[in-house]
Structure 1
């Protein structure tokens, strides 16, 4: 593992919300690494601070890979209403002015065929948030 990944994994369990936000941003590019993906879902569902949820979702959308969007979809499926609102806000924040809707749409299209029902449901929600029509 790279030192950046190890450091971010340690930061993700910090009691400081600002450190967890930084960890979410730093880990987003490692969305396809199993050790990071589990931690990222935990940050997306952070019970200590909504900023962690929002900014981790934003960072993952900016990465824009299927692996990154899949993690948001998994979190959406587990999120309570408050967490879902902040996940949606993070997705929206990343898409405003970014022009990344086509990447998100493509990722959600692939995730619509994911073997896990929770991922398919979460991807449908993300598509709706991004204004993607099928």
Structure 2
């Protein structure tokens, strides 16, 4: 959960300003007053992610399940809107009802099957990984939807390069890459340029996970990296070169007929 312990408090401090800004922008006719604590709403999303229960079975000490799902659905819709429509093969479209109970947990939806096992299969990382991913999910996954905002970039880089938990690195990197746009790739490139070996392995694993399935996704990302090679930020350009080389070494499973 986000809600307990110094590490959780520090992580919440990273993402709270962006979520609060997003909620403050939702004003006007038809928008209900804010009566539920934002942190508890995120905790409720985490509870669904960790347990896999349907939204309507949320324990009563959380905000109402309809409110919680409304927040989750709007964050998801905003993330996909920024990433652009990719309806072919059902990618980056809102999840089906059968997948909603897992809030993006790998294995909850067939189209999210994990193909990159390098980092995950290292000794000591398999046990308890789902719980750690559940803690990282709202921070990395939710905040990635705001990657084009200057206010969010510093926090996203801190999450990608999290010193305490490389699962946060992987979850945040995956979320940024699944945007499939320049903002997400630029953030990952900026982190990759200064990542140590350990974080570099997890970023590499996330790249393989996201771009090993569809060749058009991999090819689009390569084109975006070519553009980022000319970025005015030298760190972004340097990381884009590394990201380009990673992508060029991937042989996607599915190619056009």
TM-score range, shorter chain: 0.7 to 0.9
- Mind listing any 5+ residue stretches in structure 1 that lack a counterpart? none
Root-mean-square deviation over aligned CA pairs: 2.3
Native 8 Å contact 1:70 1:119 kept in 2 = yes
Q: 39, 43, 49: which is aligned to 2:155?
A: 39
Deviations 1:16-45 (A, max 9, x none): 953333210111121101121111111100
The reply on whether 1:29 has 2:166 as its aligned counterpart is: no
Shift of 1:110: 1.1
Q: Which runs of 4+ in 1 moved over 2 A?
A: 16-22
1:71 aligns with: 187
Q: Which has the higher contact order (CA 8 A, sep 6+)?
A: 1
Deviations 1:46-98 (A, max 9, x none): 11111110111111111011111000011011111111111111111111214
Native 8 Å contact 1:56 1:90 kept in 2 = no
Structure whose residues are more often helix by fraction? 1
Q: 93, 115, 120: which is aligned to 2:237?
A: 120
Deviations 1:78-131 (A, max 9, x none): 111111111111111111214411221121011000112211110011111111
SS of residue matched to 1:106: helix
Please list, as runs of the form range in 1=range in 2, the aligned pairs for 1:1-134 lying within 5 A after superposition: 1-3=21-23, 17=132, 18-99=134-215, 100-131=217-248
Aligned mates of 1:106, 1:30 — CA distance in 2: 22
TM-score scaled by length of structure 1? 0.83
The change in CA–CA distance for 1:81 and 1:4 in structure 2 (over 3 A counts) is: farther
Q: Which has the larger radius of gyration?
A: 2
SS of residue matched to 1:108: helix
SS of residue matched to 2:145: helix
Native 8 Å contact 1:20 1:52 kept in 2 = yes
- Mind listing any 5+ residue stretches in structure 2 that lack a counterpart? 1-20, 26-37, 43-130, 250-257
Native 8 Å contact 1:59 1:94 kept in 2 = no
The change in CA–CA distance for 1:50 and 1:129 in structure 2 (over 3 A counts) is: same
The change in CA–CA distance for 1:76 and 1:4 in structure 2 (over 3 A counts) is: farther
TM-score scaled by length of structure 2? 0.45
Paired residues in the alignment total 125
Aligned mates of 1:64, 1:58 — CA distance in 2: 10
Native 8 Å contact 2:162 2:168 kept in 1 = yes
